[in-house]
Chains A and B, each alone.
Chain A
Amino acid sequence: MQIPYTVEPRPDTGLYNAKLGVWLFLASEVMLFGALFSALILLRTGATSWPHGYEVLNVPLATINTMVLITSSVSMVMSWAALRLGDFGKYRKWMGLTFLLGLIFMVIKTIEYAAKFEHHLYPSHDNFMATYFTLTGLHGLHVLGGMIVIAYLLGPGSKMWMTEPERYTNRVEVIGLYWHFVDLVWIFLFPTLYLL
């Protein structure tokens, strides 16, 4: 027996299963990052000394990374829009660009980390470096996870477009929601870690 509402929305909730699922997952992610932000605030409030982010971290590089991530969010929505218009070729270009931007973000992040390690700044250095590495590291893992799903949707997962185009479009919407959330987390991480 088929599970209902995998593609079409249920009339009373107006949602298909995966969309409600991803929003619930994002709600739990809000609490995960919320706890980490809470930790950051509590540690900083109680600290005798806490450096300004811009004294220790590379602001220009992080600004570029912010732009990269914002651009990837736009390319993500554009890919979804293209798919809704039935233009699979255009979708592939936009989605491919999203993947590429995710990759650029990770490369810049790696350069940033490497520079810190070169100056012997490790997580154990002080609680500022500890929060910096933990929060950006966890965020980076989320970017990586998103990239894996995007790669799957562009690669083996794209066969679904031929058989169940609506369900495939839904999948793109769902990964899009996740991707924008990861962008949103960065929008808060960037000023709290780098600019304050």
Chain B
Amino acid sequence: MSGHSVEEIRRETRVYILVFVALAVLTLVTVGVSYLHLSFGAAVGLALFIASIKGSLVAAFFMHLISERRLVYAVLILTMIFFVALILLPLGGYHDRLG
């Protein structure tokens, strides 16, 4: 990646600024939404949705995952599968229990 040309790096820095603006706006949006006191389900859904967008922006541009090598993707996909299992299966055990 360090082999990129000067123009490309300059263009990347402009993207960084745009991402920053988007992150700042989304932060204000998510805080603003919390003052509406939506129903708990809707609030969780919306907050996590916004957080996911913000997280994706950071991962895609700041961590330049948008153009990364296959091996890194493979490692992260594997991790995400186990991450989901770690979140969902204990919860499944909680909801499906005897007595």
Contact = CB atoms under 8 A, between A and B. Distances in A.
A195 B54 CA distance: 15
A45 B94 contact: yes
A177 B64 CA distance: 9
B62 A187 contact: no
A183 B20 CA distance: 12
Contact of B91 (A24, A41, A78, A191): A41
A66 B17 CA distance: 16
A127 to B, nearest CB: 15
Contacts of B71: 13-15, 20
Contacts of A85: 6, 9
Interface string A71-90: 10110111001001100000
Interface residues of A, number: 51
A145 interface: no
Contacts of B55: 184, 187-188
Contact of B58 (A35, A73, A192): A73
Contact of A184 (B20, B58, B86): B58
A141 interface: no
B24 A70 contact: yes
Contacts of A176: 62-63
A169 B12 CA distance: 16
A71 to B, nearest CB: 7
9 A-B pairs with least C-beta separation: A191-B47, A195-B34, A14-B69, A27-B79, A180-B62, A74-B20, A34-B83, A70-B23, A187-B54
18 contacts: A13-B71, A15-B72, A23-B76, A27-B78, A38-B86, A45-B94, A70-B24, A77-B62, A81-B16, A170-B2, A180-B63, A188-B51, A188-B55, A191-B50, A192-B48, A195-B30, A195-B31, A195-B34
